[in-house]
Amino acid sequence: MNKLFTAGAVALGLMAALPAAAQNVGIATSNPGSLFHNIGTAVANAANAGGLNTTIQPATSPNQFIPFIDQGGIEFGVANLQEVNYAITGEAWWNGRENPNLRIVAHLQPLVEAIFVRADSDIMKVSDLKGLPMTDGYTAQNTILPQLSAFYATANMTRDDVEQVSVASVVAGADAFMAGDTVGFIFAHGAGKVREADAAVGGLRALGVEDASDESLARAREHWPTAFFMSLPEGAMPGVLEETTYIAFPQVIFTHANAPDDAVYAMAKAMYENAGVMGETFPPMRAFRPENMRGDPGIAEFHPGAIRFFEEVGLQ
């Protein structure tokens, strides 16, 4: 991780000497197999199609690369909006460490999340997980525990209701499930690792929220404030065996306050004009809608370069 970013910092220093027209930029993502690596790759392809020269730099999770972006070590990153907001204020797992220089470039498509179990198991709903071994801990990916708690809350459960098996990340959690160490794992729909697990065990069932009422959503938001409910039709993704409602929340591409306006403008423009490229690279990104790029940033601010582009194309 540190070696990767040290090399990246040297590369960025060299890039400073290049002509502005070169528009060399980096995008920090999570590890291969994760949703954010897939998304970052798709965004990079769109950016390259728009004239930027974009390089992916993977890390274990946004926990690790968000402070690096805040300090200007790399231009862009992909994450969900809630963790960016927490990072800015220093709340939750940031333990008071603020990252005040983060700025939003654009909203992406929503992240839709499920708890996955074997399709041939007797586990049909979240409450059936009580007393069974489930992935937990997420020591390198703090963002997952409150999301998991939000899911359990829709079934009036807590993490204490299952047998907790500690893993480092969502990718490690999927590996633990495939190894038979747990009966389920949490992951975002559409990620490559979910497809791998689906093939490895002969089929998955994607458990949704057990109670899609307003009261249930309020319980979920006590753990993950930007959560909302979103339904997927049968067959939409691996494990969706019937129309089911899941927890979803906004995803964003973000940058830092001192990123060059022209580079941020070019990134926003490339995403807006090359949505098809992103969908071809990673099919779940076909849900990306350019007209929704200027969504609610929460307590964060949009970068001036992004605002310049939004105003140019009439996005309010």
**pLDDT per position as a tens digit, 280-300:** 999 999 999 999 999 999 999
Q: State the angle between helix axes of 35-49 and 261-273 in degrees (0 to 180), rounded to the nearest 10.
A: 100
Q: So what's the pLDDT on residue 21?
A: 52
Asked whether residue 11 carries a pLDDT value surpassing 90, the answer given is no
The pairing of strands 163-167 and 133-137 is parallel
| Banded pLDDT at 63 (limits 50, 70, 90) | confident
Average pLDDT over residues 174-186: 98
Q: So what's the pLDDT on residue 221?
A: 96
First to last CA, the chain: 38
Take residue 297 and report the two structure tokens written for it.
């940033």
Q: What is the tens place of the pLDDT at every residue in 18-57?
A: 334 558 999 999 989 888 999 999 999 999 999 999 999 9
Asked whether residue 9 carries a pLDDT value surpassing 80, the answer given is no
The model's pTM: 0.85
Return residue ranges of the chain for CATH 3.40.190.10: 2-7+23-109+250-313, 111-249
Distance CA 311, CA 108 (A): 18
Work out the mean pLDDT of the chain and round it to a whole number. Answer: 92
Asked whether residue 220 carries a pLDDT value surpassing 90, the answer given is yes
CATH level 2 (architecture), domain 111-249: 3-Layer(aba) Sandwich (3.40)
User: Does residue 316 or residue 304 have the better pLDDT?
Assistant: 304
Distance CA 23, CA 4 (A): 21
- CA angle in degrees (0–180, nearest 5) for 166-170-173: 45
Q: What's the maximum distance between 2 C-alpha atoms anywhere in the chain?
A: 61
DSSP state of 290: G
Q: So what's the pLDDT on residue 7?
A: 34
Distance CA 124, CA 309 (A): 46
Q: Which CATH class name applies to 2-7+23-109+250-313?
A: alpha beta
